[in-house]
Structure formats: structure tokens, C-alpha cells
Amino acid sequence: MSKKRVSVIGAGPAGLKAAATLAANGIQVKLFERSNLTGGHLSQWHTLFPTLEPASDLIQSLQSSLDHPNIELLSLKSIQSMHSINGKWEIISTEGERFESDAVLIATGFKLFEANRKEEYGYGMYPQVVTSADVEAIFNGQQNWPFQAEVTPLRIGLVHCVGSRDAKCGNRYCSKVCCVTAVKQAIGIKKKFPEAQVYCFYMDMRMFGVGYEELYHTAQTKYNIQFIRGRLSEASPSEGSRVQVKAEDTLMGKPIKLILNMLVLMVGMEPSFQLRKQENDFYFEQNSFGDGFMQPLDPWIGSNSYNQSGLFMAGACKGPSSLPEVIQDAKAASMEICNYLNTVL
């Protein structure tokens, strides 16, 4: 009997974990990745909340499982479309190559909100305005701080919910991980510059995960990071290559102003593509304004299944999620696929 075959689209944390789980269950996996690197966004991060462990540890652990005879990694391979014929799935790459399998797992993750769309914050205009992804790159030594390290007083602000919970951006949902990422990065900044004053501008502090609220506690008490309830109205250039920000302190009921050496925009998550069905073919297409994430059969029992036999999904392509959630979801989807292959084939 020939081995059962599954195509996994996307080699981020979800795709890597699913490929490893499926392979360990005797399934032949083709892992498609459009870039030349595996690990997805995780490969850009520096530390992980809430434990502040280096992200590289998790990437290495996920990548090491790729070294399995049942896994074939096809990097620099973008998928254009796919369809199912007589219970077999055929995937077609943008170069026109065709790959056959018994089931398909979509693990294409998310893309970051493009911060320049929030024009009032001046990303791309003022060098002092950076995104949370830039801060990770700075911590990784791939970018420089946008100020002189010896400058005093050093003031840094972080704005939550950039591109999230914002109908003006077409994204009404919460991106979940930005609050705790802001707390993590604020602590990282205070560790690097103990004299700096760090301010977080938030709408709500959504510290939903295990250990998140405790990290928030630590940020307040040990690092004296100031949390101000109220979103920035705008950032404008100020003297000495700094930016002036304005907000309403909604707890004080008063306007607040402040000149910062660096303003960090906590960018949210957006779907990385839309799956469009035409006749029997599924096409991967660019998003447009207000497009949502992939919808599973239902949010409970069928949360890894698509409304099409043999098509599955896992991870942040379904909506904003933290890394533990993504990894658990990939394992759950793998189990779903095993069950499907055992009953159908």
C-alpha cells in the first residue's frame, strides 16, 4: 500500500508543527513555502512573551523536526490554485507545476498591518516612528535605534491597536498579541536603557494568556512603565529629531502631550490572502480592504476543516493567535487529517 500524502501550504510555526506531526504518523508530507526561509514571522522575532526566552530556541526546535524522511520541503514555491478531483487534491504552483496529494492543509499565517496606512502616526515619514516588527529587528541587531543611545532624557512611547479594533482600517477585530508584545518590548527597552521613560498608550489591556497579566505587573512595578489609557490622535515632528504626540488621558479626562525620541506602533495582524472559489478551483488572491480571515466549518468541533472534503486549515490564517495557540492548532489539524485519511482512503 502506498503512503498517504498531504500537502502543507506555508512553513511557519503552524506548517512546521503540522508537517512534523503528520510525518511522525507515517504520512508523506510536501511542505510548500513561498520564501527561502522556514519559520515565518517567528524567524524575525527576538524574544517570546511571556517567558522572554529567545525566539531562536523555538525556531530551531520546530526546524529540527523537518529532518524526517517523510517530509519534503519545497521552498521558493508559491501556490496559485488547487482543486480536488475524485478525492485527490492537485496543487498548481505559480510556475505551473502540479503536485498531487490526498489532503491539503492551509497554514499560510498572517501578514502585518502596513503602518503607513495610519497616516496620522507618520510611519515612513518620521524616522523616530517604527513598528513593533522594527523593534524586534533592532533587538536582533538588524536595524539601529532611531536615536543616540546617550541622549537624555530618553522617552519612548508605544501605541497599542495600530490597525486593530479600527473600522477606519477595515479591521474591527482585536489582534490579541499586541498588548503583551508591547509589555514585552517595553521591558526589553527598559533593560537596555534603564534611565528611559516608557509609556504605553492603550485602549484596554488585553492580557488574556497564562503569565501575561503577571508580565504586566512586572512592567509596572519593577520597570515603572507608565500605562496611559487613550489612543494617540497624531504624531508630529518636534525639535531635536523627536516627535510630539497628543492623546487624551481618558482616566484623567484631560488631554496629554509628550515629546518622544521613539514611537513604536504595535501593528496588528491581517489575513495574508483570500481563498476564492471559482467553479472547482480554489485561487489564492490578494486581500482587499476589510477582508476577513479564513472561516472554518464552525468555531468548535470543525475548527480545522474547510467546507470542502480534504481541505484543512491551521494557525493564524484563521485569525490572530499566539504561538502556543498556533502550535496546538497545528497538532489538532494533523489529528483531524489523520482521521480523515483513515476513514476516506
Partner 1 sequence: MSVDFGFYAAPVRSIDLDKPLSSEIELIFEKEPSLHRCISCGQCAAICTAGHFTKMQFYKINLKAHRGESEHVKELAEKCMLCGKCQLVCPRGVNIRHGILLMSELS
The residue among 76 and 252 lying less far from partner 1, judged by its C-beta, is 252
**CB 155 to partner 1: min, Å:** 8
| Per-residue mark of binding to partner 1, 181-220 (x: CB under 8 A) | ------------------x-----x-----------x--x
Cα dihedral 253, 117, 263, 12 sign: positive
252 binds partner 1, rule: CB under 8 A: yes
Q: How far is the CB of 47 from partner 1 (least distance, A)?
A: 23
Stretch that binds partner 1, among 182-190, 248-256, 291-299, 332-340 (CB under 8 A): 248-256
Tell me: does residue 237 bind partner 1 (CB under 8 A).
no
Residue closer to partner 1 by CB (options 168, 257) is 257
Contacts of 341 (CB under 8 A, 6+ apart): 4, 6, 27, 102, 103
Closest to 16 measured CA to CA, from 32, 28, 4: 32
Pairing of strands 5-9, 103-106: parallel
Q: Does 221 bind partner 1 (CB under 8 A)?
A: yes
Q: How many residues bind partner 1 (CB under 8 A)?
A: 20
Task: Kindly state the greatest CA–CA separation across the chain.
Answer: 73
The rounded radius of gyration (Å) of the Cα atoms in the chain is: 22
251 binds partner 1 (CB under 8 A): yes
**Binding positions for partner 1, 97-126, rule CB under 8 A:** none
Of the residues 256, 297, 332, 335, which one makes contact with partner 1 according to CB under 8 A:
256
* 226 lines the binding site for partner 1 (CB under 8 A): yes
Residue choice 61, 94, 224, 309 for contact with partner 1 (CB under 8 A): 224
Please tell me the distance from the alpha carbon of residue 227 to that of residue 32, in angstroms, as a whole number.
42
Q: What single-letter amino acid sits at 5?
A: R
Q: How far is the CB of 294 from partner 1 (least distance, A)?
A: 35
Query: What is the side-by-side strand order in the sheet with 103-106?
Result: 71-74, 28-32, 5-9, 103-106, 311-313
- Per CB under 8 A, the segment of 39-47, 66-74, 128-136, 256-264 that binds partner 1 is 256-264
Pairing of β 71-74 and β 28-32: parallel
**Contact track, partner 1, 137-166, x by CB under 8 A:** ----------------x-x-----------
Q: Which string of b and e fits 210-225 if b means at least 16 CB within 10 Å?
A: eebeebbebbeeebeb
Query: Quick check: 232 and 247 in contact, CB under 8 A?
Result: yes
Nearer to partner 1, 2 or 221 (CB): 221
Measured CA to CA, the distance from residue 180 to residue 88 in angstroms comes to 42
Number of H helices, E strands in the chain: 6, 22
Binding-site member from 257, 278, 279, 288 for partner 1 (CB under 8 A): 257
Which residues contact partner 1 by CB under 8 A? 153, 155, 199, 205, 217, 220-221, 224, 226-227, 229, 249, 251-252, 254-259
